[in-house]
Amino acid sequence: MNTGDDRSLYSWGKRAHVSSIATNDHQQPPTKKMKMTIKPPPKPRLIKNHIRLYYSKYCPLGDICKLVTMNSRLKSPQFRDVGLQFINGFFRKKFNRISEDQLINYIKKDPPVNIHIGLCKTADIITLEDGSNERMITPPEFKGSAYEIKKKIPPKIDIRNDGYGNSIHFCGEKKELVFDIDLCDYDEYDIRHCDCRNKKILCDICWLLIEGVVEVLSYFMKDILGYKSLMWVFSGGKGIHCWINDQQALSLSEQERKNIVKLVTMNDDKTMLNRLTEPLNPLMKRLYDNRLEKLFIEEGLKKRDILNNKGFIDRIFKMLDMINTNLKSFLSKEWYSIDGTISSIDKWSKLVAIITNTKQRQQKQVNPCVFIVFRLLYPILDEQVTSSLSHLIKSPFSINSSSTRISIPLVENDIKTLKIEQLPTLQGFIKDNGKNDLFNNGITILKQWINKY
Residues in touch with Zn ion (CB under 5 A): 194, 196, 203, 205-206
CA dist 67 and 70 (Å) reads: 5
Q: How far is the CB of 387 from Zn ion (least distance, A)?
A: 28
Which amino acid type is present at position 240? Answer: I
Q: DSSP string spanning 200-253?
A: S---HHHHHHHHHHHHHHHIIIIIIT----EEEEE-SSSEEEEEE--HHHHT--
Q: How far is the CB of 336 from Zn ion (least distance, A)?
A: 22
196 versus 331: smaller Cβ distance to Zn ion? 196
CA dist 253 and 154 (Å) reads: 14
**Cα-trace Rg, the chain:** 24
CA dist 168 and 124 (Å) reads: 7
Q: How far is the CB of 206 from Zn ion (least distance, A)?
A: 3
18 versus 418: smaller Cβ distance to Zn ion? 418
Strands 230-234 and 167-174: unpaired
CA dist 448 and 21 (Å) reads: 32
- In 186-323, which ranges are E strands? 230-234, 239-244
CA dist 346 and 354 (Å) reads: 12
CA dist 335 and 351 (Å) reads: 10
Q: How far is the CB of 183 from Zn ion (least distance, A)?
A: 8
139 versus 311: smaller Cβ distance to Zn ion? 311
188 versus 289: smaller Cβ distance to Zn ion? 188
CA 222 to chain centre: 18
CA dist 404 and 431 (Å) reads: 14
CB atoms within 10 A of CB 67: 24
191 versus 221: smaller Cβ distance to Zn ion? 191
Q: How far is the CB of 193 from Zn ion (least distance, A)?
A: 9
Q: How far is the CB of 213 from Zn ion (least distance, A)?
A: 14
Q: How far is the CB of 209 from Zn ion (least distance, A)?
A: 8
Of the candidates 90, 150, 151, 100, the residue with the CA atom closest to the CA atom of residue 125: 150
43 versus 452: smaller Cβ distance to Zn ion? 43
For 203, residues 6+ apart whose C-beta sits below 8 A from its C-beta are 194, 195, 196, 420
CA dist 108 and 93 (Å) reads: 16
Q: How far is the CB of 306 from Zn ion (least distance, A)?
A: 11
Q: How far is the CB of 194 from Zn ion (least distance, A)?
A: 3
CA dist 408 and 440 (Å) reads: 9
50 versus 405: smaller Cβ distance to Zn ion? 405
325 versus 403: smaller Cβ distance to Zn ion? 403
51 versus 183: smaller Cβ distance to Zn ion? 183
- In 263-382, which ranges are E strands? none
Residue 170 · residue 122 · CB < 8 Å: yes
